[in-house]
Structure 1
Amino acid sequence: MNLSALSDSLKPLNLRSCLIQQQGRLIFEHYRDQRTSSEIAKINSCTKSILSALVCIAMDQGQLSGPSAPISEFFPQLSRDADTRKQQITIGQLLTMSAGFRWTEFGGANSFPKMTRSSHWVNYVLEQPLAEEPGTRMEYNSGISQLLSSIVVQASGMSTARFAEQYLFGPLGITEYEWETDPQGIHTGGYGLKLRPADLLKFGQLYLQQGVWENSQIISGGRVACSVQPALPAEPPRHGGYGWHWWTDSITGDTRTGGSAAVDYYYARGYAGQYVYVLPELQAVAVVTQDNRRGKNNPPPEVFREYIVPQLMNPSGL
């Protein structure tokens, strides 16, 4: 891997950070300035993948019975809804964002901003009509993540952040963070978490290691595997698939034999360029953080596909 060439390529992009770890060893580390390495910053919707890990841990502990459990166990008001299909929505359908609620994250009905302006976010989400049969199609919905955060609270008897401190952040050595809450004090499931880039790298490495950290099984390997498998196609115009609050995709590039083959990967993704990529076949994890909010006519570069993957798949670096 030509690290100097990668460094030269990234300098003009004004990234906050870029970290790459392969086979458990940090091989590349770039920060915009000295402060960035130690500062916590918004990870936006990467929060969703952190929440997914907490749901998996709660399932492992038996505090949640599993993905087939109906969410009406936690939201009894659904039994009074005129649409009886809502009573059959499962935790797994929340994780894959296929609950069927009519929802436009941004644009159109602007469901997400309306939720954040409401006095009770969970009730706002549950009151939305169903647009289709639960389980049939992925529709990006940060409100669903808020339902999952509420479920973690109800199942564990502690706040989502406290649960994370005890069972995820603590074992990973994550000591500094900030996490927003809704009007009821439930930590935001779809966004609102601030972490350091190095802590995002730890999180990705935990998944690469099938839930094992320093010889302890933090998340069961089976739950990790379920989380990162594409359950449904991603909602257009996004490509790839969607798992349990993780995105999935593949990329074709040169292999050590000189041919080309698809390499599967999965990733956490947050607004304004926050990413955690996990490439099991290459035993690699990459973190990219940015704060460039470019418009549609001037999108940020595909740093991972254009710069990082070609270097990881360069035979000279294998």
Structure 2
Amino acid sequence: MDAPRNDVSTEPPRFAPDAGGKTWTFASPAEANMDPAPLLQADEDIQKRFPKMRCFLVAKDGALVFERYYGGADASTRLDLRSATKSATAAVAACAGALGDDGGEKPPTLEALFPELLPRAASEDVRATTTRQLLAMTSGLHWKTGKRLGEAFVPRLHRSRHWVRFALRLPVDPETRGAFVYRSVDSHLLSAAVTAATGRPASDVAQEAIFGPLGIAPPPWEADPQGVTVGHIGLALTGRDLAKLGWLHATGGVWEGRRILPPDYVRLAFTPLGEGLPAFGRYGGHWWIARAATGEAVRCALGHGGQLVFVVPERRLAAVFAADPKVSRWKHPLSLFERYVLAADPDGPGAASPPPS
């Protein structure tokens, strides 16, 4: 398939007024003013061409309007998100106040967060690295990543006795400082920042601040040898859980009229902060941002094997595709989202109005 285009606008997302005010419910596509035919065609296409797919769900206007499972999975099956975990980690960091805010609170630095763990020989660049740089993956910490997101140093991180110390010992490469490099160690440091800020694992903060309010039962989420919640992988959620997270982001962080995520965080996460990679799009705040054939910016939480949460807040739309991650090669489901989900939705580009100031 064609690679997602990363020539997307740098404009922030537009959230529909009161998009999060409705009660989460179930509805037919027709009840949500969607055409069911393209969604049924997507179901057929998945069964023919995506043998590793495990679920496909669509949420529109606060309702789950389409839901299919494959390969023995069902609504109770928890799916390994792989790197889509990163998007959840970012949301938890925002809720924990670990990212600063647009009201003047500066994001904390590694020196402020980890004074006892930073090596004495750490450079000023390492010490001054902020959580906002971790969020955008522009820290400059020494790392090697291929064009298909293969990371040479991840096995070393996982073999180390102390993952946070391992990360803090990495030097900063001046040539990549401020430039996007896909770097899982940045995500793990974000999770560690949550613990440094709150004294609690990110998984506990997630349950209290996000998962609990969304009605998500405590999910499995792996931890490193020191008990720090793994920031880059290790979270498992059901398809419905993922649909809820997608809809929460589509509303700008509001769930059934209640503010869950800081509004400045969602705008930051959904705005391109780095160049990204041609095969996946530009990079925001731990979300990918690709341009669909319609010209729209599509925000994506993405994990190896085909774990995708697509969000188009301007359409009040979210969709989930999740597959078996134990594969070396996989098909990106963006073509399914473009060809069928967007085609089923009448609310095209520019349909939603920006919220009142």
Superposition map of 1:189-200 within 5 A: 189-200=231-242
1:238 Cα shift?
Answer: 3.6
Question: d(CA) in 1 for partners of 2:161 and 2:211?
Answer: 30
Corresponding residue of 1:265: 298
Name the TM-score, length of structure 1 as normaliser.
Answer: 0.88
Distance 1:60 1:118 in 2: 25
| CA–CA separation in structure 1 for the residues paired with 2:91 and 2:45 | 33
1:1-318 aligned at under 5 Å gives the runs 1=35, 2=37, 3-12=39-48, 13-14=50-51, 15-32=53-70, 35-59=73-97, 66=105, 68-76=107-115, 77-78=117-118, 80-105=120-145, 110-132=152-174, 135-234=177-276, 236-253=277-294, 262-291=295-324, 293-295=326-328, 299-304=329-334, 306-314=335-343, 317=346
Sort the Cα spacing of 1:45 and 1:105 in 2 relative to 1 into closer, same or farther, 3 A.
same
Query: What is the deviation of 1:313?
Result: 3.5
Residue 312 of structure 1 and its aligned partner are, at CA, apart by: 3.3
CA positional deviation for 1:79: 6.9
Shift of 1:59: 1.9
Query: Equivalent residue for 1:257?
Result: none
Of residues 130-139 and 109-118 in structure 1, the stretch that sits farther from structure 2 once superposed is 130-139
- How far apart, in 2, do the equivalents of 1:7 and 1:237 lie? 28
Relative contact order, CA 8 A, sep 6+: which one is greater?
2
Change (3 A) 1:310 1:282: farther
Q: Which amino acid aligns with 1:99?
A: S
How much does 1:132 deviate? 2.2
Quick check: 1:71–1:89 contact (8 Å CA) kept in 2? Answer: yes
Q: Displacement of 1:250 after TM fit?
A: 1.1
Structure 2 SS opposite 1:94: helix
Change (3 A) 1:98 1:60: closer
What is the one-letter code of the residue matched to 1:187? T
Aligned residue pair count: 305
Partner SS, residue 223 of structure 2:
coil
**TM-score scaled to structure 2, two decimals?**
0.79
Question: How far apart, CA to CA, are the structure 2 residues paired with 1:316 and 1:108?
Answer: 35
| 2:83 alignment partner, SS class | helix
Over 3 Å counting, the alpha-carbon distance change for 1:238 and 1:80 in structure 2 is farther
SS at match of 2:293: strand
Higher mean displacement: 2-11 or 94-103: 2-11
Code of the residue aligned with 2:121 in structure 1: it is D
- Is the contact between residue 98 and residue 193 of structure 2 (CA under 8 Å) also seen in structure 1? no
Deviation at 1:182, TM superposition (A): 0.6
- Equivalent pair of 1:59/1:66 in contact (CA under 8 Å): no
**Dislocated runs of 4+, deviation >6 Å:** 60-63, 106-109
Matched-pair identity in %: 31
**Contact kept in structure 2, 1:153 and 1:159, CA below 8 Å:** yes
C-alpha separation in 2, matches of 1:316 and 1:208: 15
Q: 1:108 to 1:21 in 2, by over 3 A?
A: closer
Contact 1:66 1:91 in 2 (8 A): no
**Partner AA of 1:273 in structure 2:** G
Deviation at 1:51, TM superposition (A): 0.7
CA 1:103 to 1:24, structure 2 compared with 1: closer, same or farther past 3 Å? same
Q: 1:316–1:87: structure 2 CA closer, same or farther, 3 Å change rule?
A: closer
Range with bigger deviation, 137-146 or 52-61: 52-61
- Asked if structure 2 preserves the Cα contact closer than 8 Å seen for 1:20 and 1:285, the reply is yes
Specify whether residues 121 and 196 from structure 1 end up closer, same or farther in structure 2 by C-alpha distance, changes over 3 A only: same
Q: Which amino acid aligns with 1:25?
A: A
73 and 214 in structure 1: CA distance in 2 versus 1, 3 angstrom threshold = same
| CA deviation after TM superposition for structure 1 residue 67, in Å | 5.5
SS at match of 1:314: helix
The one-letter code of the counterpart of 2:332 is E
Describe the superposition over 1:148-203 as per-residue Cα deviations: whole angstroms up to 9, x where unpaired.
Answer: 11110111121211111111110011104101111101110000011111101100
- Which blocks of at least 5 consecutive residues in structure 2 are unaligned? 1-34, 348-357
User: In 1, distance between residues paired with 2:200 and 2:111?
Assistant: 20
The alpha-carbon deviation at position 228 of structure 1 amounts to 1.3
Residues 56, 322 of structure 2: 8 Å contact kept: yes
